[in-house]
Amino acid sequence: MSAIDTDHFRGLLLDARKRVVAALQNLHDDHAGSLSDEAGEETAYDNHLADTATETYDRELDYTLEENSEHVLAEIDAALQRIENGTYGTCTNCGKQIPEERLEALPWATLCIDCQRERERR
């Protein structure tokens, strides 16, 4: 069994953690005013149009994150903890090694694909 490159995954996790923390901060700072109010003001200024488009996109992302980011943050911290105690990359359900391709896509995965599917079926 090949050892997992935990330094690599620690890097991925810390990166993701930074993004999630920033997103959470945004959510908490950014709840003043509705999108339509701001868009109404900004159409008066041509140079702001590009900003408005970006903002719309960011907000859609925020709505997704709003439901998930605190959960994801907890998962990331738990994964970092598992790197520290040497259990990272092992399925918490069946104890098999989680394939690195899966960890690459979802560094905080706690379940192998089989167990994940099993869980989603319920």
94 binds Zn ion, rule: CB under 5 A? yes
Least Cβ distance, residue 87 to Zn ion (angstroms): 13
115 binds Zn ion, rule: CB under 5 A? yes
103 binds Zn ion, rule: CB under 5 A? no
Where b means 16+ CB within 10 Å and e means fewer, 49-76 reads eeebeebeeeeeebeebeeebeebbebb
Nearest residue (CB) to Zn ion, 60 versus 118: 118
In 2-110, alpha helices (H): 6-29, 35-42, 49-85, 100-105
Nearest residue (CB) to Zn ion, 72 versus 112: 112
Judged by CB under 5 A, which of 72, 91, 103, 109 binds Zn ion?
91
92 binds Zn ion, rule: CB under 5 A? no
| Stretch touching Zn ion by CB under 5 A, among 2-10, 33-41, 70-78, 114-122 | 114-122
- Tracing tokens 């509705």 back to the chain, one arrives at 34
93 binds Zn ion, rule: CB under 5 A? yes
Contact 76, 104 (CB under 8 A): no
**Long-range Cβ contacts of 28-35 (<8 Å, 24+ apart):** 30/62, 35/59
Give contact residues for Zn ion (rule: CB under 5 A): 91, 93-94, 112, 115
